[in-house]
Amino acid sequence: MSVLSRMLRHKSVEQLQAEAGRRGDFRRVLGLWQLTAIGIGGIIGVGIFVLAGQQAAANAGPAVALSFIIAGIGSACAALCYAEFAGLIPVTGSAYTYGYAVLGEFVAWIIGWDLLLEYALVVAVVAIGWSGYVQVLLGSAGIHLPVWAQQSMSAQTMEYYLQQLLGAHGAQAIAGPSDGHRFNVVAAGVSLLVAALLTIRTEWGARFNTLVVTIKVIGVLLVVLVGAFYVHAVNWQPFIPARIVDAQGVAHFGWAGVLTGASVVFFAVFGYDTLTTAAEEAKFPQRDLPRAVLLSLAVAMVLYIAVSLVLTGVTHYSHLGGDASVSQAFESIGLHWLSVTIAVAAVIGVTSVLFAFMLGAARIWFALARDGLLPTWFAHIHPRFGTPARPTVILGAFTALVAGLLPIGEVAELVNIGTLSAFIIICTAVLVLRIRKPQVPRSFRAPVLALVSPLGVLFSLLLIFGVPWPGAVGWQRIGGLPGITFERFILWMALGCLIYFGYGMRHSRVEQK
């Protein structure tokens, strides 16, 4: 078999459906509401409690609500495609498995390798944001951590240590660390605790997750219902602040800022895909997975838009740039009790985001190993707990190190490009499969797929690359992801290609059949 033939080999939909019925790797313990809670838990978190305020202050002003709507439209197109696939191929692995069925092994590997990093980095980003709210609570109780343990290193300090490691010298070398030796102890600790919870039993973790999601939604509703009485319409004027260009030539506010904000808050409007990685743990996957995907996104979008409007109505958008912006907004108007309550809800609720994405990462890792693309040692199910313990423990250690060491901005930039790339492939693959095999029974069919699929691809491309926009001097790119993100993404993909061609291609279980 030629190299190209190996790269294009795939599992048929019928084969995957048959395997899903026969496999007993996991216990089927998750119902519709537990799956929906995983989806809501994966979506609602740092986006509401951190990013909404930060992007209002930095890019969009009160129109950050429009940023969420724009990002949500693109996410909804992808969600419909995910829902169709989830009902059709209820197998652990989510986008990786769907790609294997339609586009072939190499594309599937690229998706899986991509999402493995993205999900792990989401855990790290959220853990860093989570630690900010924990420190607000501790501070309100008069407890203050040592300076070195409060936050991660700055980007400059991390660059300095990397240069020392690589032996960089001369004009390009950083003079020295700007903030000393730092390690975010709280962020690292919560990563390890969530890994331990996911290692024990899926149903125990799912029950805990459902509880914390409920607390989180109650907390968000409290923000909306109480905050509505303190909204001052003057804070929404102008709703889209005038466009300005900073010293680096980057545009803020105006429609350019709204689109830039959309590319950033997209980080906050996906997460429903994590529940599809637990397909083999669902009691009725073909019925419940599509419903859970769409229900979780719908609930999240309503809450995001409501909180964005209330937050920018309670206080001027220029005051919302902190790491705990929602709590700080209500503290600024004298509602200390609500500020503390929100911080408690954030601390409890954001834990569910960590749960959802670490669960997803571990199961994608398991699926890659079960198919032979990674060593099968990782595809071992713990005989007592019934969970993929090995990848879960390793992910816990990895995310703890990343969350403890790296600044949140440096980590978050890598997340969106991977997820958007996966969305492009999913939206393309579902349309290809609808054309190629229209007769295959589907428990859910995405409506107007000929429109939804291209729109999902288009939105994802725009959020990755930005859109051309008239500037003071010619046209410029607004929105999109920074160039350094592409460089890091390409490096990760290059490493993935080395592993695939060096190991996965020869050890694939499809190759052995």
pLDDT band (50, 70, 90) for residue 452: very high
Report whether pLDDT(470) > 70. no
User: What mean pLDDT, rounded, does the chain reach?
Assistant: 78
The domain tally of the chain equals 1
Q: How far apart are CA 87 and CA 31, in angstroms?
A: 14
Q: How far apart are CA 314 and CA 237, in angstroms?
A: 13
Could you read off the pLDDT of 206-255 as tens digits, one per residue?
777 788 888 888 888 888 898 888 888 898 988 888 777 666 566 677 88
pLDDT of residue 182: 67
Rg (CA), the chain: 22
Q: How far apart are CA 155 and CA 459, in angstroms?
A: 30
pLDDT of residue 154: 44
pLDDT of residue 391: 92
What does 165-222 look like in DSSP terms, one character per residue? HHT--GGGS--S-SS-S---HHHHHHHHHHHHHHHH-HHHHHHHHHHHHHHHHHHHHH
Neighbours of 151 (CB within 10 A): 23
Report whether pLDDT(289) > 50. yes
pTM: 0.78
On whether the CB atoms of residues 66 and 60 are closer than 8 A, the answer is yes
User: What is the pLDDT averaged over residues 130-153?
Assistant: 66
Question: Which among 398, 399, 392, 400 is positioned nearest to 366, based on CA atoms?
Answer: 392
Q: At what angle do helices 32-43 and 285-314 cross, to 10 degrees?
A: 40
Percent of the chain's residues with pLDDT above 70: 81
pLDDT band (50, 70, 90) for residue 390: very high
pLDDT of residue 502: 92
pLDDT of residue 173: 42
pLDDT band (50, 70, 90) for residue 161: very low
Q: Which residue has the higher pLDDT, 415 or 29?
A: 29
CA quadruple 214, 37, 425, 105: dihedral, nearest 10: 140
Q: Which domain holds residue 10?
A: 3-512
pLDDT of residue 374: 92
User: What is the pLDDT averaged over residues 373-383?
Assistant: 88
pLDDT of residue 166: 39
| CATH number of the domain to which 438 belongs | 1.20.1740.10
pLDDT of residue 451: 92
**Helix (H), strand (E) at residue 244:** strand 244-245
